[in-house]
Amino acid sequence: MRLLLLLLLLIPNVASGAGVSVQYQVGGKPYEGYYVSPGPDAPFLLLVHDWDGLTEYEIQRAGMLAKLGYAVFAADLFGAGIRPTKVEDKRKLTGELYADRDKMRNLMNGAITAARNLGARIDNGAAFGYCFGGAAVLELARSGAGLKGFVSFHGGLATPEGQGYDQTKGSVLVLHGTADASVSMEQFASLATQLETAQIPHEMITYSGAPHAFTVFGSPSYREDADKKSWQRFVGFLQETFK
């Protein structure tokens, strides 16, 4: 798929107080991301949302990272105004992207281009995501994207047939709940073997009693202990990556 991206408009996001909503296009279709930056030299982070789409959760996480000195672009992989609330709609939207990996990659690359147009230092960047977003970030890693790190929070870990990590350029951090009923420990172990075989620097951590989506504030799946520990390791990983 040929990538076409045009930055259209910046709209102040009054609710968040710090960042801006960003309207941009990929492949001629409109998308709406979110960008926050503490300054022009800040290391860059691409944030990929879970299957709810880009919501206040991602904006909150972006704000937390901006306070630590990072510029964060929260991508939109579903389309402007498309924020599903029904499970069947979430499955449909994510299923379409799982079935079209080229499109998934193009959408993430489009978001990176939008961030670059805003002045982000994409040459000094990393990517992270939650649930569906974690799976998408691993897809970006396998694509050979020129980022220094790739982080998955309770994301999908299965590698599509015919793919591998031979082209991965950065290190990988996987933060996973041992009680995740959606992503098995067999997939976790398989990914570890794949990364080791490809000689990709990686760290993979599991948290006991943590189910899928254990970092999502206010949800039934939220586990404070696992959230705090995974966030602490994530922050440490970023400090190591951008030292």
Task: Quote the mean pLDDT of the chain.
Answer: 93
Q: Report the CATH architecture of 7-241.
A: 3-Layer(aba) Sandwich (3.40)
- Given a contact cutoff of 8 angstroms between Cβ atoms, the answer to whether 134 and 154 are in contact is yes
Q: What is the pLDDT of residues 43-79, one digit of tens each?
A: 999 999 999 999 999 999 999 999 999 999 999 999 9
For the whole model, what pTM was predicted? 0.93
- What angle do the packed helices 87-99 and 101-117 form, to 10 degrees? 90
| Strand ranges inside the chain, DSSP E | 7-12, 20-26, 29-36, 43-48, 71-74, 121-130, 149-153, 171-177, 202-207
Categorize the per-residue pLDDT at 18 as very low, low, confident or very high, splitting at 50, 70 and 90.
Answer: confident
Q: Delimit the domains of the chain by residue range.
A: 7-241
Q: What is the pLDDT of residues 133-150, one digit of tens each?
A: 999 999 999 999 999 999
- Given a contact cutoff of 8 angstroms between Cβ atoms, the answer to whether 43 and 126 are in contact is yes
Q: What is the pLDDT of residues 160-202, one digit of tens each?
A: 999 999 999 999 999 999 999 999 999 999 999 999 999 999 9
Q: Please say if the pLDDT value at position 151 is more than 80.
A: yes
